[in-house]
Amino acid sequence: MKKILMIVAFLTATIGLNAGTDPLKVVYGPWVQNVTEDSFTVLWVTGDKSLSWVEVGEDRNTNWYQMEHWTCYETVTGRRVTGTFHSVKVTGLKKATTYCYRIVGKPVADDSNPYAISYGAVRAGGGVHKIRTLDYSAPECNFSMVNDMHFDDAKYRALMSGMDRKKTDLVVLNGDIVSFSNYQDTLIRHTFGPIRDICGDFPVYFVRGNHETRGSEFHLLPQAFPTNTGEFYYTFRQGPVAFIVLDGGEDKPDDDPEYSDQAEFDQYRQRELEWLRQVVKTPEVADAPVKICLIHIPAFTGPNSWYTQNWIAENFTPALNEAGIDLMLSGHHHKYIYAAPGEYGNRFPIVANSNTERMDVHVTPGRIEVKAFDREGKLVRSLEIK
């Protein structure tokens, strides 16, 4: 039976590749979100409306065509979805396991007749990617972080190209990768387009910056960054680290003229605070040896700090102190800033990363090592937290 399945998989894959002369027109992606021990979500954008799916198989160091794999579709209330924006959740996986996947689809030729939709030839969209599920029991965690790229694709690409692919578990985008999002395409193009060769093979965790709240299609951002809460505040776990991702929203008061009567972040942050107070008590967070908070706007206060920074320090910091947070990683200021425990009412160190550096973080129980590299790959600073 196993041999038959392998033959069927081989024939299916071969037909998909050879049907037609052009590959499936994948404009952006794939990128992988919401990775857990037993699932992940693959997203991509096609140039034409299509019925697309993901083929997945456990990596056993064999050729794709010799691998047993299965097919996953995006469905809504029992029906498969056609369109140009695609999001497929793959479930039922094993922890700490590498899976191979690829995008396949067929363009919609005519869907004017709801009883007889016609399609073009089945085509594969690009190559085969690999993704590893998380492992809550792993002895260490390694991740890379960038922030505040503001449409500078060349800098973004240069910083990420120096990432150690063999050692990295995940990538953190800590806000303001774009300056606004008048079109969803803008966000996706500048977030995943420049590092397409990286984002398809690593879990990418997004922290919303204040600039990503701006633009006429800001409300479409959650489609590109699905989380386990449906919000831009959420938690995830890798090895000894429980990550608490928070969203500061905009950096000025809701009634600031710049927001054109559209801001309601005070209420949003208050709901988030209530969630934070509860989630830090869950076993995933409370029992973790190391706890790291990711938030774009840091909890600094002072005579020149803006509204939201003060709000975060006054409201989020006490809850994070109570939870025993070991480190807060932020951006926003476009320069490196370190705040020692106790400097702003915080019992944990706060590090704001520069917008010209990539931060690589290595974590084991009882020790956090932070290194920053410039776009040429030169080590510019290091920090050890015990």
SS3 state at 187: helix
- Nearest Cα residue to 356 out of 143, 213, 152: 152
Measure the CA angle with vertex 234, ends 359 and 348; round to 5°.
Answer: 55
SS3 state at 20: coil
What pLDDT score was predicted for residue 14? Answer: 37
What pLDDT score was predicted for residue 83? Answer: 95
Tokens of 144: 């890379």
Peptide bond into 30 cis (omega under 30): yes
Cα 234 to Cα 37: distance, rounded to the nearest angstrom: 16
Cβ neighbours for 157, distance < 8 A, ≥ 6 positions apart: 194, 195
**Pairing state between β 379-385 and 358-364:** unpaired
What pLDDT score was predicted for residue 22? Answer: 59
Side-chain half-sphere of 184: how many Cα atoms within 13 Å?
Answer: 12
What pLDDT score was predicted for residue 11? Answer: 36
What pLDDT score was predicted for residue 286? Answer: 97
Measure the CA angle with vertex 361, ends 358 and 366; round to 5°.
Answer: 160
pLDDT digits (tens, 9 = 90+) for 310-368: 999 999 999 999 999 999 999 999 999 999 999 999 999 999 999 999 999 999 999 99
Per the CB < 8 A criterion, the answer to whether 331 and 251 are in contact is no
pLDDT digits (tens, 9 = 90+) for 252-295: 988 888 889 888 889 999 999 999 999 999 999 999 999 999 99
Cα 227 to Cα 224: distance, rounded to the nearest angstrom: 10
Q: What is the pTM of this model?
A: 0.91
Beta bridge partners of 51: 82, 106
What pLDDT score was predicted for residue 125? Answer: 87
SS3 state at 57: strand
What pLDDT score was predicted for residue 16? Answer: 37
- Nearest Cα residue to 333 out of 309, 361, 314, 359: 309
- Nearest Cα residue to 52 out of 67, 37, 42: 42
Query: Which residues, given as ranges, of the chain have pLDDT below 50?
Result: 1-21
What pLDDT score was predicted for residue 263? Answer: 82
